[in-house]
Amino acid sequence: MEHISIGDDIDGYDPAAYDRPSVTVDLVLLASIERQLHALLLRRDQSPQAGCWALPGGFVAIDESLDAAAARVLRDKVGMERAHLEQLYTFGAIDRDPRMRIVTVAYLALLRPEQMARAERAGRVTAATLVGDPLRACNGEGTDLSLAFDHRAILSVARERLRGKIDYSDLAFAFLPERFTLRALQDVHEAVLGTTLNKPAFRRKMLDRGQLVATGDREADASHRPAELFRVRDAAV
Amino acid sequence: MEHISIGDDIDGYDPAAYDRPSVTVDLVLLASIERQLHALLLRRDQSPQAGCWALPGGFVAIDESLDAAAARVLRDKVGMERAHLEQLYTFGAIDRDPRMRIVTVAYLALLRPEQMARAERAGRVTAATLVGDPLRACNGEGTDLSLAFDHRAILSVARERLRGKIDYSDLAFAFLPERFTLRALQDVHEAVLGTTLNKPAFRRKMLDRGQLVATGDREADASHRPAELFRVRDAAV
DNA sequence: AAAATAGTGTCTTTCAGACAGTATACA
DNA sequence: TGTATACTGTCTGAAAGACACTATTTT
């Protein structure tokens, strides 16, 4: 066999001749609940980092695209059939996993509250609250959770991505059911941005965008004046 | 050896037991020249896709981070020591390369005109102009170039990334020398966005941002009133 | 003086924040 | 009737587009 260094051109390169990184996908599964971002995590029961919390992930097979691998992990490890999935960033530091060299492609999945609740009931994953800056993950009692590997950095990049895109994209709707109130939409924006927003300005901006359709119906079970329900025009999201 | 399917947990997985994708980095090297974006490409002389133009790229070694691999490719394949490099997106379709399964992490490098000219003179790469929507790559005579693999899609994502970030980030300065006129800065914005901008509004916005420092010097060799030279405050970029 | 571009003053429009007010549900 | 929240009208200020105007250099 011809001797070719790793730096040589791809043409004529024998992929079996050298050690190569493995490729995985990791999923950041987020929902917006009560004006706070929540993420689904798995508790590690094996070394290394036993007791730490990790993102659901898995290897990318040779005959599987990255997007397909992300969808498969969502199905097999989280028990969810469909979600708004988009590629986030690829993490490839040499020592990010002590077991072997792994390059992981992180995906962002945006869930509705009832999707996250169903996944939690299935029992494989647990929701944590994402708070503060820099980001921390907390359990229901407000105790900080230790995150495995570089997963805290991955969660931070996910939140930054949301913050950068929520103003001009449709991603907020992926957190909401088909019909929702303007207050619920504003709650999503506030959860993502970590700030409070001006209500009249928010209403004007959303309505002027022409993307929302009033249904004429109103929310039920409110102990006060019920708000109107809207939906997204077309099949956006 | 225990039989473990590719979908199983990473713990206990033997990376040598299964075929795995290879990982490469590909570089999108852009400059803004005469109000147009230009990219550096390599002409392929081997099958497949001989005669097509490709992005400079190379395999990621087992002991090398993704960022380090991108810097190495920049050095070895383009002959450039340093540039503003940032990760763009990861492309992992199964059939994106007919030779083998390759997942490529695309990086974006922003060059100053003189950096691009020097790389071209070194002879390994050639500059193409990026025009139109959807994006096309043209040579100096305006003839369209065929791009190899999914490299046209990669270039498109790169241009979209620039368009999305130029308004609120510092990336425009990476296209400019240390001292530059406001007209040159506006030219960069117009090249990236593919539109013309309002001059007084652009000046106001840039100066009000407080990021520019007037040097008091003026450009030389203009056949008209010379413009003032500015630089970026601190060591941004 | 002519040509060309740099740089500015100002009008107008648009849009977001602030805040007070009205409307409508439940208790 | 009280209270809580939905929803709206309007003022104000910030910022962008349009456009005309002045300034300064070379030829």
Q: Could you give the CA distance from residue A140 to residue A136 in angstroms, rounded to a whole number?
A: 13
Prediction pTM value: 0.93
Residues A149 and A108 in one domain: yes
Share of chain A above pLDDT 70, in %: 92
Q: Provide the pLDDT for residue A3.
A: 36
CATH number of residue B77's parent domain: 3.90.79.10
Q: Could you give the CA distance from residue B18 to residue B3 in angstroms, rounded to a whole number?
A: 11
Out of A6, A65, A99, the one facing B94 most closely (by C-beta) is: A65
Kindly give the confidence (pLDDT) of every residue in chain A, 237 residues in length, as a single tens digit, with 9 standing for 90 and above. 333 344 446 666 665 667 889 999 999 999 999 999 999 999 999 889 999 999 999 999 999 999 999 999 999 999 999 999 999 999 999 999 999 999 999 999 999 999 999 999 998 999 999 999 999 999 999 999 999 999 999 999 999 999 999 999 999 999 999 999 999 999 999 999 999 999 999 999 999 999 999 999 999 888 889 999 999 987 544
Out of A9, A62, A65, the one facing B20 most closely (by C-beta) is: A62
| A154, part of any domain | yes
Q: Provide the pLDDT for residue B19.
A: 85
The answer to whether the beta carbons of residues B7 and A69 sit under 8 Å apart is: no
> Tokens at residue B145, please?
């170039």
Helices (H), chain A: 66-78, 113-122, 151-165, 182-193, 199-208
Residues A91 and A152 in one domain: yes
Out of B21, B89, B105, the one facing A60 most closely (by C-beta) is: B21
**One-letter amino acid identity for B100?**
M
> Tokens at residue A2, please?
């011809």
Q: Provide the pLDDT for residue A235.
A: 59
Q: Provide the pLDDT for residue B16.
A: 60
Residues B138 and B183 in one domain: no
Q: Provide the pLDDT for residue A165.
A: 94
DSSP for chain B reads -----TTS-STT--GGGS---EEEEEEEEEEEETTEEEEEEEE--SSSSTT-EE--EEEPPTTS-HHHHHHHHHHHHH--S--EEEEEEEE--TTSSSSS-EEEEEEEEEE-HHHHHHHHHHTS-EEEEEETTTTEEE-TTSPBPPBPTTHHHHHHHHHHHHHHHTTTSSGGGGGS-SSB-HHHHHHHHHHHHTS---HHHHHHHHHHTT-EEEEEEE-SS-SSSPPEEEEESTT--
CA distance A54 to chain B (A): 12
Domain boundary at B118, B149, B165, which?
B165
For an interface test with A, the pick among B67, B73, B95, B103 (most A C-beta atoms closer than 10 Å) comes out as: B103
| A142, part of any domain | yes
User: What pLDDT digit, counting tens, does each position of B53-84 carry?
Assistant: 999 999 999 999 999 999 999 999 999 999 99
Q: Do B9 and A62 touch (CB under 8 A)?
A: no
Q: Could you give the CA distance from residue B58 to residue A62 in angstroms, rounded to a whole number?
A: 19
CA distance A116 to chain B (A): 22
Whether the predicted pLDDT of B11 surpasses 90: no
pLDDT classification of B232: cutoffs 50, 70, 90: very high
Nucleotides of D under 7 A from a protein CB: 3-10, 15-20, 23-27
Q: Do A90 and B94 touch (CB under 8 A)?
A: no
Residues A147 and A227 in one domain: no
Q: Do A60 and B103 touch (CB under 8 A)?
A: yes
Q: Do A103 and B105 touch (CB under 8 A)?
A: yes
Q: Could you give the CA distance from residue B83 to residue A6 in angstroms, rounded to a whole number?
A: 22
> Tokens at residue B58, please?
């190379």
Closest residue of A to B169, CA-based? Answer: A164
Helices (H), A6-99: 66-78
Q: Do B101 and A46 touch (CB under 8 A)?
A: no
Residues A158 and A183 in one domain: no
| A78, part of any domain | yes
| B189, part of any domain | yes
In the stretch 71-110 of chain B, residues with CB closer than 8 A to chain A read 72, 76, 87, 89-90, 92-94, 99-103, 105
Please confirm whether the linkage preceding B48 is cis (ω < 30° from 0): yes
| A14, part of any domain | no
In the stretch 59-78 of chain A, residues with CB closer than 8 A to chain B read 59-67, 72, 76
For B69, half-sphere exposure in the C-beta direction (CA atoms, 13 angstrom radius) is: 31
Q: Could you give the CA distance from residue A141 to residue A128 in angstroms, rounded to a whole number?
A: 10
CA distance A100 to chain B (A): 8
**Which residues of A in 125-164 have their CB below 7 Å from strand C's atoms?**
none
Burial grade of B185 (CB within 10 A; 0-12, 13-18, 19 or more):
buried
Task: Give Cα separations from A162 to A119, A128, B15, B168 (angstroms).
Answer: 22, 17, 33, 16
pLDDT classification of B2: cutoffs 50, 70, 90: very low
Residues A154 and A188 in one domain: no
> Does the C-beta of A226 come within 7 A of strand D?
yes
| B1, part of any domain | no
| A6, part of any domain | no
Domain boundary at B143, B165, B187, which?
B165
Residues A181 and A130 in one domain: no
Residues A84 and A185 in one domain: no
For B57, half-sphere exposure in the C-beta direction (CA atoms, 13 angstrom radius) is: 27
Residue ranges making up the domain that contains A206: 171-232
For A43, half-sphere exposure in the C-beta direction (CA atoms, 13 angstrom radius) is: 10
Domain boundary at B165, B180, B212, which?
B165
Residues B157 and B74 in one domain: yes
Domains held by chain A: number: 2
Q: Provide the pLDDT for residue B12.
A: 63
Q: Give yes or no for A163 touching B (CB within 8 A).
A: no
- Judging by DSSP bridges, how do beta strands B57-59 and B22-33 pair with one another? antiparallel
Residues B91 and B188 in one domain: no
| B9, part of any domain | no
> Does the C-beta of B224 come within 7 A of strand C?
yes
Q: Could you give the CA distance from residue B181 to residue B187 in angstroms, rounded to a whole number?
A: 10
CA distance B77 to chain A (A): 9
Q: Find the mean pLDDT for residues B145-153.
A: 98
Closest residue of B to A75, CA-based? Answer: B7
Q: Give yes or no for A190 touching B (CB within 8 A).
A: no
CATH number of residue B182's parent domain: 1.10.10.10
Weakest mean pLDDT among A143-152, B4-13, B82-91, B135-144:
B4-13
Q: Provide the pLDDT for residue B13.
A: 62
Nearest nucleotide by C1' from B167 CA?
Answer: D16
* Per-residue burial over B5-15, b = 16 or more CB atoms within 10 Å of its CB, e = otherwise: ebeeebeebeb
Nearest nucleotide by C1' from A209 CA?
Answer: C15
The answer to whether the beta carbons of residues B60 and A23 sit under 8 Å apart is: no
Q: Find the mean pLDDT for residues B31-59.
A: 96
> Tokens at residue A99, please?
């077991």
B chain contacts of residue A15, beta-carbon cutoff 8 Å: 22, 100
Task: Give Cα separations from B10 to A98, A104, A228, B35 (angstroms).
Answer: 12, 12, 47, 49
Residues B123 and B193 in one domain: no
